[in-house]
Amino acid sequence: MFNIFEEITWPHFVKSSHVSKLPLQEQINQYNQYLYQLSEARTSWIVYQNKGPLKEVENFLLQENGFFLLQENGNKIII
């Protein structure tokens, strides 16, 4: 596993023991895979952050003049 907050640069990546003995093209593929996994892990971390309580948002249908479009009983039409 790797730290999603600290990206390993190319020069440091190719010096690691499991990569340094590989051909250049395979090193590039490994680094691209690492960057892809890092991006996925960061996205996942952002998505699953606690964002606090959800607020109830009600959207009402508006007329062109900005006033609410009302039902026959006077209630606003909820979208």
For the chain, how big is the Rg over CA atoms in Å? 26
**Per residue in 30-42, pLDDT tens?**
999 999 999 999 9
If pLDDT is split at 50, 70 and 90, which confidence band does 29 have? Answer: very high
pLDDT of residue 9: 95
Q: 3-state secondary structure string, the chain?
A: CCCCCCCCCHHHHHHCHHHHCCCHHHHHHHHHHHHHHHHHHHHHHHHCCCCCCCCCCCCECECCCCCECECCCCCECEC
pTM: 0.61
Looking at residue 54, its pLDDT comes to 60
Higher pLDDT residue, 76 or 32?
32
Q: Which of 56, 15, 7, 58 is nearest to 36 (CA)?
A: 7
